[in-house]
Amino acid sequence: MDATFNTAASVIHPLQASCMGTANSLWIKRDDLIHPIVSGNKWRKLKYNILLAQSQGKTRLLTFGGAYSNHLLATACAGATFHLRTLAFVRGHEDFSNHYLRTAALFGMKLIKVSREDYRDKEGLLQRHFPEMENLLVIPEGGESPEAETGIAEIIAEIPEDIDLIVHASATATTATGLCRGIAEMHRKHKVLSIAVLKNAAEQRTKLEDKGFAAIADIMEGYELGGYAKTNEELMQFCRSFIRETGILIDPVYTGKALFTLKEMITRKVIPPDQKILFLHTGGSMGIFSEKFLGQTTNHH
Ligand SMILES: *Cc1c(COP(=O)(O)O)cnc(C)c1O
């Protein structure tokens, strides 16, 4: 199964960029290179869900997401790859012609538009649309599931033991808890710094505490810039500088916001300079290809 989604492509290399500040030994793990569409943590999260579907003889995957969900897109492409039909409930009615949903549809995903109100009641949606549930594996929003954690935990075996701190963009804390599980299972000493990209740090922290991982991972809050997908000129400028200096695509919603926060913490010495840091690139590079981001990027002289 890894022939298509090659986790060996997720190399680790030094991260040299003056826009990051230079105090620490800084490395990056390139989960964004696993696949151009099913990238980063979305492949890690889907892997065991797909194996589950196959072992149970399911022929369809059903999931949920917003109009700019990396998870929807990843599910659409992975479904096509493994010959599983894909369906998704998409939240809200505005902007259904964006490049995310068009690409998901290209992979054959059936998109079912539902109002924000209906979207909240996922059980109700399932019962109304799929009373039989036959041949259907339901994957929760964002891929959040025990199978997802199992897939994420595998990352730890690919990380050198002498890394002190693993840093990543965090939204549902599934990646965070999966990393912690891997660390606990492998008796590693790494700590995890999960940077909240939306204003739900308390909720994320509760998930870590409930699973007994509060001593391994920390949720960083205060750098959300107002909330999910909210940006400012400084963040946008940082993303552009980073991309130009490294050739690595980052997006302002997830990895760019997390790297920007990491840069701030390094510069302010919130992270001690002797810490060996590994940034986990969780993918999501499709987020750059939007008018909002590219529209402001010009190179005319
Ligand atoms: C979904 C996503 C995240 C957030 O992962 P969680 O496990 O929900 O915390 C981070 N980065 C990228 C690029 C994502 O697409």
CA of 210 to the centre of ligand 1 (A): 20
Does position 299 have pLDDT exceeding 70, yes or no?
no
Question: What's the pLDDT tens digit per position in 123-132?
Answer: 999 999 998 8
The model's pTM: 0.95
pLDDT, mean of residues 18-32: 91
Whole-number Cα distances in Å, 177 to 42, 71, 133, 207, 258: 15, 18, 29, 8, 17
CA of 160 to the centre of ligand 1 (A): 22
Q: What confidence score (pLDDT) does residue 296 get?
A: 67
CA of 176 to the centre of ligand 1 (A): 10
Residues with Cβ within 8 Å of 102's Cβ and at least 6 positions away in sequence, in order, are: none
For 61, the 3-state DSSP assignment is strand
Q: Which of 19-23, 177-181, 253-257 has the lowest mean pLDDT?
A: 19-23
269 close to 42: Cβ distance less than 8 angstroms: no
100 close to 89: Cβ distance less than 8 angstroms: no
Which among 127, 161, 170 is positioned nearest to 282, based on CA atoms? 170
Counting from 1 in the atom list of ligand 1, the atom nearest the Cα of 152 is: 7
CA of 300 to the centre of ligand 1 (A): 34
Residue with CA at minimum distance from ligand 1 atom 10 = 169
Question: 282 CB under 6 A from ligand 1?
Answer: yes
Question: 169 CB under 6 A from ligand 1?
Answer: yes
Question: What's the pLDDT tens digit per position in 196-226?
Answer: 999 999 999 999 999 999 999 999 999 999 9
Question: 69 CB under 6 A from ligand 1?
Answer: no
Q: What element of type H or E holds 42?
A: helix 41-55
Counting from 1 in the atom list of ligand 1, the atom nearest the Cα of 178 is: 7
CA of 152 to the centre of ligand 1 (A): 11
Cα distance from N-terminal residue to C-terminal residue, the chain: 48
